[in-house]
Amino acid sequence: MTEGSATRTGHPTVVVDDLHIKYKTFASGKAASGTRALLQRQRGIRVVHAVKGMTFVAHEGESIGVIGHNGSGKSSLMRAIAGLQSPASGSVFASSQPALLGVNAALLGDLSGSKNVILGSLALGNSRAQADAVYQDIVDFSGLEEFIDLPMKTYSSGMAARLRFSIAVSRDHQILLVDEALAVGDKEFRAKSEARIRELREQAGTVFLVSHSMRSILDTCSRVLWIDHGNLKMDGDPQEVVDAYQASKN
Ligand SMILES: Nc1ncnc2c1ncn2[C@@H]1O[C@H](COP(=O)(O)OP(=O)(O)OP(=O)(O)O)[C@@H](O)[C@H]1O
């Protein structure tokens, strides 16, 4: 493991200490219900060890890219940092409640885009008056004004992701976790998103960005974590880590 060359003078915001995450699943794919079912299916239980002892410290002002193959444990790590996934062992400390923005973040399909903007804004901790005050900025950032009265379920996945991203970045977060949101927008929206991430980072926040787009990672991040089969394979300078990751695929 290598340490990055980026200066890390800010205060620690996230400490991940020997984190392990395990999922129990059933080979049949069925969820357990009741003790008898559990006993009967005991043999079919599979434990997936998704994160295998990760340790690192994130600081104020860092924008940290998280890269790795499908299923390597990136989203599991983000959920654990956000407090949505309990560790099998080890721990995560965060200096304030992290906001997780994922492609699966829950907005309500039956409600219009505009209602979801208000709900999402309230969910980020804004008061109703604050939510009303930032409403137009969110809609403008999303570029979805003409669709804003339509139910969210009529949006394409790219449009929905744009709206989620716009809601999440409308508020300054000390710790923002972005899971793949940048991959979905078009070029113009991506550029705007990346600029906003840099801005959040400059406001002494810490941003984690999970992405399969090495271009987004290199344009936005000051440090990169490479996750491989649940292990932190490399932690350091973006170009060095991305080069090593890409070399491993050849
Ligand atoms: N709820 C779950 N139940 C069972 N197994 C899970 C669950 N969530 C994730 N896993 C498994 O844990 C491992 C890590 O998954 P995770 O989603 O964290 O990977 P990832 O690196 O984010 O993948 P991707 O790049 O494809 O999004 C995978 O083997 C996955 O199948």
Going from the Cα of 75 to the center of ligand 1, the distance in angstroms, rounded, reads: 7
Closest C-alpha to 184, from 166, 201, 172, 170: 166
- Say if ligand 1 is within 6 A of residue 79 CB: no
- The pLDDT, as a whole number, for residue 34 is 62
- Whether 41 is in a domain gets the answer no
Residue 113 phi, psi dihedral angles, 5° rounding: -55, -45
Q: What residues have CB less than 8 Å from 224, skipping those under 6 apart?
A: 4, 64, 65, 66, 67, 217, 234, 235, 236, 237, 238, 241, 242
DSSP state of 4: -
- Whether 181 is in a domain gets the answer yes
Closest C-alpha to 143, from 125, 131, 129, 155: 155
- Whether 46 is in a domain gets the answer no
- Whether 208 is in a domain gets the answer yes
Where the chain has pLDDT below 70, the residues are 1-9, 28-43, 102-106, 181-185, 204
Q: What residues have CB less than 8 Å from 108, skipping those under 6 apart?
A: 115, 116, 119, 152
With a threshold of 0.95, tell me whether the complex ipTM lies above it.
yes
- The pLDDT, as a whole number, for residue 178 is 84
- Say if ligand 1 is within 6 A of residue 192 CB: no
- The pLDDT, as a whole number, for residue 1 is 40
* Strand stretches in 77-135, DSSP E: 89-94, 99-102
The model's pLDDT over 190-201, given as tens digits with 9 standing for 90+, comes to 888 888 877 877
Give the β-pairing of 63-67 and 206-210.
parallel
The model's pLDDT over 14-45, given as tens digits with 9 standing for 90+, comes to 999 999 999 998 776 555 556 655 555 556 78
- Say if ligand 1 is within 6 A of residue 45 CB: no
The residue range of the domain holding 83 is 12-22+51-249
Residue 12 phi, psi dihedral angles, 5° rounding: -65, 135
Number of structural domains in the chain: 1
- The pLDDT, as a whole number, for residue 106 is 64
- Whether 150 is in a domain gets the answer yes
The CATH number covering residue 141 comes to 3.40.50.300
Going from the Cα of 133 to the center of ligand 1, the distance in angstroms, rounded, reads: 37
- Say if ligand 1 is within 6 A of residue 211 CB: no
- Whether 36 is in a domain gets the answer no
Going from the Cα of 2 to the center of ligand 1, the distance in angstroms, rounded, reads: 25
- Whether 4 is in a domain gets the answer no
